[in-house]
Chain A
Amino acid sequence: MRRQNVLIQLGALAVGAWALPGDSLVVVADIDSSRIAVSGDRELGRSFLRHRLEWLRVGDEGTFAVRDTSLFRLSGKPGVWGGESFLDAGWHRPPDSGFGWGASWKLWNRADGLGAPRASVAENAWRQLAVVRGTVGDSSWAAAASLGALAEQADPGSASQGIRFGEPVSDALHGAGFWSLEGSWSGFQSAPARFDASWSDLLGGGALRQARVLFDGSIEASLAGEGRDTARLEAWFDSTRIRSVHSLSDRADAQRGARVAWVFPAGRQTLRVAAGWQRVVADDFADRVPDLERTESNLEIEFGGVLPKGWMHRNVFFRRDEERVWRSSRTGDPLDDAMSAARDARDRSETGEFGLSDTLSWRTDRWGGVQLDLGLSQSLRSVRHPSNAEPSMADRPDEDLSKRQWIVGLRSDFLAWGGRHFLSWTGLSQEDVFLRAVRSGESGERIENKLGLNLSLPVLELARPQLRAWARELRDSWRFMPGQRVGLLEYGAQGGGEIGPADAPWLVAHWTRWRTRTGSLVGDDFAPDRIQDVWQPEVRGFLGWGGAWAFEPWGRYQIERERSWTGTDWTDGRYSIARAGTDLSWSGDRTALRFSVARVWSDPGVDDWVGSFSARRAW
């Protein structure tokens, strides 16, 4: 009976919290209290100002929430303002005797060029949507209907864009009616299933478009019976169409897909099989980017679990396939259109990738907790352009990328925390092959080895020094140029740590230095022609008093020195940036303030003052 249900409800999907697809029309998401936050910062001649106001009122008459946000910047000389804001106000009343109501008002606004010397460059645009929504339903099904109005207007400036290139810039008031219908159903005790559907569109609208059709469903069942395993099937179709004066977009996006997963635990081992298919079509009627049609499928099989005597394993096989088809817009010019069509055909690509990843670990509680990790990962990614028999240098290349990566790592709970490897060796062997003659000369091979060390030993619970060191060597060679080989040698270390209690340290300091040499490999000799040397010390102190005030002086310095061989001579380059400042903060039960001021010294570059502030209050 259970399996019959699975088959009958094949088109149904997602089991989760009870919600309708269009809830965001009237419900302001992620608000749990009322609060206001204002922040601003200034750096490199640009100032940013943000605000966020959230107001929530929950009562017998329903839930009323408002969120108002903005982000504006001031830049240039003389300063010009630009940015955007969004107001979302919604009220909804939960179903009472099966009926519920809601209403909302949303306002998007963007502006730029405000305060410019030439007032004609100033522009702004707004978009408003007001909706009334009614819901009906019980614990197993629900439906909703919405009616509303959408309006948009732009006040263009001399540099404003039309929605399409070459199209006149709109300054008219556009309006349209808005409607939507939604439905959700969930059921089956033994095989929980859910099906959502919604359809929204405009009534009239002229230059505006806003439509969405959504179907989404899922079902879960135990195929082996008695809950010994879990099978889940999901399928969806989501199509949106928008044409907006406010966002200067005119596009349609549609995606459909299905995903199936089966998890079967057997003793201390678990087998998971997952497969999916998705097709995405993106049409840009504004002709800013070519339309794209992407179809992808994937399969993943994972087998893992605990083995005797402290051993664990995990083996993953995956296969992914993707096809991309581009369609450039037609201009009406026969020659242009023929060239675009030919280029689109040449660009059509098929990508296939498959891989195998195996990890084996052994853990013991002896010696303070030690774990040995061994891992090997292999993959091959192939890109083909089957409609391009004669590729040119201007075309995307056919390519095979074969990778083998391995790791041998030792973890020690005593010597290094946080799951980091105390000692590790990672390696990469990679072949990147361009198949067609026009680019095959770039085919190459890379071999990389990296040794890592992490050490962190607490001292009397008051100091937590840390040391990280690494060394890396890398060799690149080219298949058809055996004499040309290049290499890289990098080594570095980071030392530092915290002093003070773990939850409120007094001082945090780090010092990092690394050196990278790149150059040619001649036989076994390495002839570096570029040497990069970087130092990065950093320190931050914490002083608090009264439990509310905190004073944090800090400093950060970075110097990068570089020597390059030009063929006849060595040249030296140097870049440094130093920052020093202080943060001052005050935290109360409901209010928090933070001020920061710093000085930046850049060489080359300009010195500057940097400042920021933020204030938050909740109620």
Chain B
Amino acid sequence: MNKRRILAMFAMLPVLGCDPFAPARPEPPSSTRSFPRAESSDRVAPLLDSALGIGDRSGALSLLDPSATLALEGSAQTNALDNCFQSLAAQASEANFTLLEKTPDVSDTSTRVLEYSIQSAGRPAVSGKATWILASPSVKNWRLRRWIDDPAYPSSLYRSCGGGSP
């Protein structure tokens, strides 16, 4: 069999429905419930505040990008942000986010600099200054992709999640 025939066979695969990159078939939906979406990048912080406030773990996680990371500015170390949020959102927390600076949305990304403080019942307060990289995986659905903590805050989320080893 010559090369052209082999290439033609591979080219025919998608036509015959043998696309190896096609997703699996989903089950028919059983629930119409969906989490409130952050329709604009400005809505991520208030919705996160609200989800943490009522201990809504799934709501908080739905505002995070699946590959969201938590990092310390100037350091290559990163943690999985959802791993950290699991414990924060396990119980009601009082969160405060104060916007310091923002860049406008372009090409589905946006940046916010903010000060935060998160107080969970029976746990020490987590506070600091962070840069958020927000992304929009679908139109009118903004999520937090990267949380970069300022190293000048010893009680930052990064350090409170076990990243403070010297």
Q: Contact check, B58 vs A393: say whether CB atoms are below 8 A apart.
A: yes
* Contact status A433-B24, CB under 8 Å: yes
CB 8 Å contact bits of A433-444 with B (1 = contact, 0 = none): 111111111111
Which of chain B's residues have a CB closer than 8 A to the CB of A295? none
* Interface-facing stretch out of A28-36, A132-140, A245-253: A245-253
Q: Does A594 contact B (CB under 8 A)?
A: no
Say whether A290 contacts B83, CB under 8 Å: yes
Most A C-beta atoms less than 10 A away, residue of B32, B66, B103, B159: B66
CA distance A110 to B35 in the complex (A): 40
| A residues in contact with B21, CB < 8 Å | 355-356, 378-380, 402-404
How distant is the Cα of A390 from the Cα of B36 in the complex, in angstroms? 23
For the complex, give the distance between the alpha carbons of A18 and B74 in Å.
28
Given A402-B22, A479-B26, A532-B105, decide whether A393 and B162 contact each other with a Cβ distance below 8 A.
no
Q: How many residues on B have C-beta within 8 angstroms of the other chain's C-beta atoms?
A: 58
Q: Contact at B58–A395, with CB atoms within 8 Å?
A: yes
Q: How far is the CB of B137 from chain A (nearest CB, A)?
A: 8
Chain B residue contacts of A479, Cβ below 8 A: 26
Known A159-B125, A289-B83, A437-B28; judge A558-B154 contact (CB<8 A): no
Tell which of A190-198, A231-239, A485-493 binds the partner: A485-493
Q: Does A165 contact B (CB under 8 A)?
A: yes
Cα distance, A444 to B34, chains bound together (Å): 14
Cα-based distance from A399 to B31 in the complex (angstroms): 16
B124 beta carbon closer than 8 Å to chain A: yes
Residue of B nearest to A533 (CB): B104
State the CA gap A126–B164 with chains docked (Å).
13
B165 contacts the other chain (Cβ, under 8 Å)? yes
Residue A166 lies at the interface, judged by CB distance under 8 Å to chain B: yes
Contact B104 A165 (CB under 8 A): no
Pairwise interchain contact B140-A440, C-beta atoms closer than 8 A: no
Contact in complex: A247, B159 (CB < 8 Å): yes
Instruction: Determine if A89 is an interface residue (Cβ-Cβ < 8 Å).
Output: no
> Chain A residues with Cβ under 8 A from B104's Cβ?
532, 534, 558, 560, 575
B50 CB to nearest chain A CB (Å) = 16
A329 CA / B127 CA spacing, docked (Å): 24
Q: Which of A483-534 contact B (CB under 8 A)?
A: 486-488, 490, 492, 514, 516, 518, 530, 532, 534
B57 touches A166 (CB 8 A): no
- For residue B160, which residues in chain A have a CB less than 8 angstroms away from its CB? 288
- The interface residues of chain B lying within 8 Å CB-to-CB of A72 are 152
- Whether B31 lies near A441 (C-beta < 8 A) is yes
Residue of A whose beta carbon sits closest to that of B162: A284
Is there an interface contact between B139 and A476, defined as CB atoms closer than 8 Å?
A: yes
Residue of B nearest to A448 (CB): B108
Docked-complex contact B106 and A514, CB < 8 angstroms = yes
- Contact pattern, A 130-170, Cβ under 8 Å of B = 1, otherwise 0: 00000000000000000000000000000111000110000
A575 to B151, CA, bound (A): 29
Q: How far is the CA of A435 from the CA of B28 in the complex (A)?
A: 9
B40: chain A residues within 8 A (beta carbon): 530
In angstroms, Cα B124 to Cα A431, docked, is 42
Chain A residues, CB < 8 A from B122? 165-166
Q: Are A380 and B57 in contact (CB under 8 A)?
A: no
Contact B87 A518, beta carbon cutoff 8 Å: no
Residue of B nearest to A492 (CB): B106
CA distance A3 to B139 in the complex (A): 56
The answer to whether A71 touches B151 (Cβ under 8 A) is yes
Cβ–Cβ < 8 Å partners of A441 in chain B: 29, 31-32, 34
Residues of B within 8 A of A112 (CB): 154-155
- Contacts between chains A and B (CB distance < 8 A), count: 172
Q: From the candidates A71, A435, A472, A532, name the one contacting B107 in the complex (CB within 8 A).
A: A472
B166 at the interface (CB under 8 A from A): yes
Instruction: Determine the distance from Cα of A487 to Cα of B138 in the docked complex, in whole angstroms.
Output: 9
Other-chain residue from B27, B35, B86, B153 in contact with A73 (beta carbon distance below 8 A): B153
CB distance from B66 to the nearest CB of A (A): 7
- B102 and A575 within 8 A (CB): yes
B17 interface residue (CB < 8 Å to A): no
A350 at the interface (CB under 8 A from B): no
Across the interface, which residues of B come within 8 angstroms of A284, CB to CB?
162
Given contacts A382-B24, A476-B139, contact A438 B154 (CB under 8 A): no
How far does the alpha carbon of A110 sit from the alpha carbon of B20 in the complex, in Å?
A: 54
Q: State whether B23 touches A401 (Cβ < 8 A).
A: yes
User: How far is A286 from B162 in the complex, measured between Cα atoms in Å?
Assistant: 8
- B111 contacts partner chain A, Cβ-Cβ < 8 Å: no
Residues of B within 8 A of A436 (CB): 26-27
B161 in contact with A288 (CB, 8 Å): yes
B57–A288 CB distance below 8 A: no
CA A402 to CA B26, docked complex, whole Å? 13
CB-CB under 8 A for A394 and B139, given A435-B27, A558-B104: no
A463: interface (CB < 8 Å) = no
The interface bits of chain A over 580-595 (1 if a CB of B lies within 8 angstroms of the residue's CB, else 0) are: 0000000000000000
Bound form: Cα–Cα A403–B40 in Å: 24
Distance to closest chain A CB from B42 (angstroms)? 9
Cβ of B100 under 8 Å from chain A: yes
CA A166 to CA B100, docked complex, whole Å: 33
Contact in complex: A435, B58 (CB < 8 Å): no
Please list the residues of chain A having a beta carbon within 8 angstroms of any beta carbon in chain B: 44, 46, 48, 71-73, 82-84, 108, 110, 112, 127, 159-161, 165-166, 240, 242, 244, 246-249, 251, 282, 284, 286-290, 292, 326, 354-356, 378-380, 382-383, 392-396, 399-404, 431-444, 446, 472, 474, 476, 479-480, 486-488, 490, 492, 514, 516, 518, 530, 532, 534, 558, 560, 575, 577
Q: Can you give 23 A-B contacts (C-beta < 8 A)?
A: A165-B124, A166-B122, A242-B165, A249-B164, A251-B165, A282-B162, A288-B87, A289-B83, A290-B87, A354-B20, A382-B23, A383-B66, A392-B58, A400-B24, A402-B22, A433-B25, A434-B26, A440-B27, A441-B31, A474-B139, A514-B106, A518-B140, A575-B102
Which 10 pairs from chain A and chain B are nearest by CB?
A400-B23, A441-B29, A394-B58, A437-B30, A161-B124, A440-B26, A433-B23, A73-B152, A437-B27, A247-B164
Residue numbers of B with Cβ under 8 A of A are 20-35, 39-40, 57-58, 61, 66, 79-80, 83-84, 86-87, 100-107, 122-125, 129, 137-140, 150-155, 159-162, 164-166
